[in-house]
Every structure is written in structure tokens, then in C-alpha cells.
Amino acid sequence: MKYGITFFPEKKVQDLINSYRKRYDPHYAWIPPHITLKEAFDLQDDELPQAIEHLERVSQEVAPFPITLTKVSSFYPTNNVIYIALEQEDSIRRLHEKINSGMLHHESAYKFIPHITLGQKMLEDELHDVYGSLRMRRFELESNIDRFHLLYQLDNNTWSIYQTFLLRGN
């Protein structure tokens, strides 16, 4: 089965992000606005208990922390994706590294850039128009990361929460 690990920001942040995603992201209906902490990966049923144990350990080692999303950017020309980036990345980068260790370590095709997608799969001209418009806007979106979620993908490509892990470190 295919799994992923994400953080969902607070509702007020999701609502604003969704006002863009419903226009510019064809995956809008598949998953709420999120920060991917571990990209999609496959696990066999017999590996799941060990993965959950690993994620429980991570959640006990990491304390909750705030994030601020401020700057619109793009992965163009690698991918036609527009996103809003985190202002400070140290805490979320450490969480990402802990999650992606041990049995869940996999080499990624891309460098970890914590972000929330605003739009994707756009034609090049549309991407440039939307990006040009959005980068003029100043965002000051704040949220607290106090949990992360192990998700699984359903047959219709939507994602559902399998288990939530509360951050309990000091």
C-alpha cells in the first residue's frame, strides 16, 4: 500500500490556501493543504507496525514548533508547481530528517523543500501568469506544528489519515 507523511496547517491557513488550490491545483480534492514530511512510499502490511513504532519514537523526540509561510515560489522548470515557502526551516527540516531515518529512509529524487502547494500541472504560460501575480502578494500565515500524520492512498487517489502522532518532545 502507498503511504505518505504530512502536516496539516491550522484551518485558517488551509482556507486561504484552498482559495488558490481550487483554481490552480487539480489535486485539490485528493488531499487538504499540507506540508509533505515524507513523499509517497510503499509499505507491506507486515512492515507497518515497525514503521508506526519508528514514527512514535520520532514524535516523542520532537517538541511542537511554530511555522510562518511568507514567500511564493516555484519549482519551474523542474516542475510546474507554485508554492508558498516556510520562512524558517530548521525545525521542520530536523523533523523531516528524523522521520526519514531508519526503516523509513529512502533516497529522494528531489531535495526537501518544505512548502504548501498553491498550484500545479499548469501550462507554462499559465504558470508564469499566476506566479507573477502571486509573488507580488505578501503572505504572513502562521501555524503550529504539534502533530504529523501517516496517510494512506485510496484507489481513487485521495489520501486518508491512518494514524496521527502528537509531538511530545521537550
- 84 near 139, Cβ under 8 Å? yes
Residue 54: active-site member: no
Residue 115: active-site member: yes
Catalytic pick from 27, 34, 54, 128? 34
Looking at the chain, list the stretches that DSSP marks H as alpha helix, in order from N- to C-terminal side. Answer: 11-24, 48-61, 90-99, 124-134
Catalytic pick from 54, 115, 128, 149? 115
Measure Cα distances from 4 to 54, 116, 146 in Å. 14, 15, 18
Whole-number Å distance between alpha carbons of 158 and 45: 20
Residues classed as catalytic: 34, 115
